[in-house]
Amino acid sequence: MSKLPFDFYFEDVDFDLKFKNEIASWLNKIASDENKSIQLLEYIFCSDSYLLDINKTHLNHDFYTDIITFPLNNDPLEATIFISIDRVVENAKTFKDSFENELHRVMVHGLLHLIGYNDKTEQEKEEMRSMENKALSERSFI
């Protein structure tokens, strides 16, 4: 099997992603089901402070967030996606869900934005959540 177009990095956090190959295959299938191909998606898992610095520097936002996606190309998809492990842990507690489910939800959320889904309006948020739930139900590795 050829290497899938995903890279996973870790910055300022003691974390290692489980099921890397399975997650890459799962995300690739989600894109394919939406008639999108992926050139390269770089997921960078980091701390709150690391992502806050990126949020301040590049987006002029002074608040914590769970994910920031920097699209580089739309067709095929190419992007760098930063995910705060600290926020994922907190969100999992807040939403009474497992860390893995919340992590995978955030990972697919970034991909869905790249595909073209938005979450500004209530209707868009409902559609995004529905797509996230569908994607989570299609995982075969958990």
**Computed over its alpha carbons, how large is the radius of gyration of the chain?**
14
Determine the Cα–Cα distance for residues 41 and 79; give it in Å rounded to an integer: 5
Number of folded domains that form the chain: 1
Residue 36 is part of a domain; what is its CATH number?
Answer: 3.40.390.30
Q: Judge whether 73 lies within some domain.
A: yes
Residue 1, in any domain of the structure:
no
Q: Where are the alpha helices (DSSP H) in the chain?
A: 20-33, 48-59, 85-94, 99-115, 122-137
1-16 pLDDT per residue, tens: 457 899 999 999 999 9
Give the separation between CA 124 and CA 118, rounded to whole angstroms.
6
Burial letters 3-18, b for 16+ CB under 10 A, else e: ebbbeeeeebbebebe
Domain of 35? 6-137
pLDDT digits 0-9 by tens, 57-109: 999 999 999 999 999 999 999 999 999 999 999 999 999 999 999 999 999 99
pLDDT for the residue 142: 79
142 falls within a domain: no
pTM listed for this prediction: 0.95
* Angstrom distance (rounded) from CA 114 to CA 130: 16
Q: What is the pLDDT of residue 45?
A: 98
